[in-house]
Amino acid sequence: MTRIDLPRTDVGPCESFGERWTKLAAERSALCLGVAPSSSWLARWDLTDDVRGAAAYCDRILRAATGVAAVKVQVPFFARFGPEGLDLLARFTERCHEHGSLVVMDAKVGDADDTMHAYADLYLGPGSRLGGDAVTANAYMGLRSIHPLAVRAGQVGAAVLVLVRTSNHAAEEVQQASSTDDRTVAQRLADDVAAWNHAQAPDASWGPFGAVVGARLPESADLVARLPRCVVEVPGLGRPDRATAEVLAAVPDGRGDALLTITSGVLRHGPDVGALRTALEAWRERIRP
């Protein structure tokens, strides 16, 4: 196990994100719906490219996705509308919680540690501006820089999902680069995330750090295996360049903490609410063990 010298985090009395997620996934399936009110998706759904169009988009998502365990929100597609867009995102999150769904804020935050308290106030847990249950984070400034965000996550039962390996082609030259011990950058980051969770909560099933692994096989399976006791988001379901079997092969049978995200594979069936609901149910059945 990699040794890591991050400070100890006090874990709050509430259920961890991992505990909440695994219960919901067992009940509703591990499917997570991507939510992306971009200009292109609003146009495809014949909606105006403004906050009113985004609100109509969110309403249809909410009516179709009442039974999903989680949604993953692309924050910039809301933030581009300014304060009204952030208000819409806060309302959308609240309504998802009313349906019992967890909300992952895909913000990819990455900054110096003295700013992370502000990001926590914006994204994580009850009392934050947006009320998310998890947020994605970029560790390019070092894992220690994310520590204040993880402190809040541990206190409120949320999670920080570290971008261990992303699926965009431009990331390969950085994330697959070899470090001094011949591990790739992604492998070393996965090992450090796992070590940090173990150090912070040695007696718990999950720590406040999770991971995003968007690699192809065999790299995806290797990285997921390096992340025990971590909620791991594995995107790629429904993409034309990814077979379902390849995405699922990264997650061993019986591993109940994986979060499987699908976006275009469902959204392309919109804007009809019934068609969206049917597509979600079909994918839930498709990924059941």
Radius of gyration of the chain (CA): 18
Supply angle C-alpha 270, 272, 274, rounded to 5: 115
CA atoms within 13 A on the CB side of 133: 23
Which residues, including other chains, have CB under 8 Å from residue 242's CB and lie 6 or more apart?
216, 236
Establish whether 108 is a catalytic residue: yes
Q: Given CA atoms 118, 121, 125, 129 in this order, what sign does their dihedral have?
A: negative
Do 111 and 120 contact (CB within 8 A), yes or no? no
Indicate the DSSP class of residue 230.
S
Rounded CA-CA distance 199/3 in Å is 9
Q: Which two tokens stand for residue 67?
A: 């039974």
> Which of these is catalytic: 80, 97, 108, 239?
108
Could you give the dihedral angle defined by the CA atoms of residues 238, 249, 257 and 97, in that order, rounded to the nearest 10 degrees?
Answer: 10
Do 102 and 134 contact (CB within 8 A), yes or no? yes
φ/ψ of 20, rounded to 5, equals -65, -45
Nearest Cα to 250, choosing from 211, 281, 280?
Answer: 211
Helices (H), 29-82: 39-44, 51-64, 76-79
Active site residues: 108
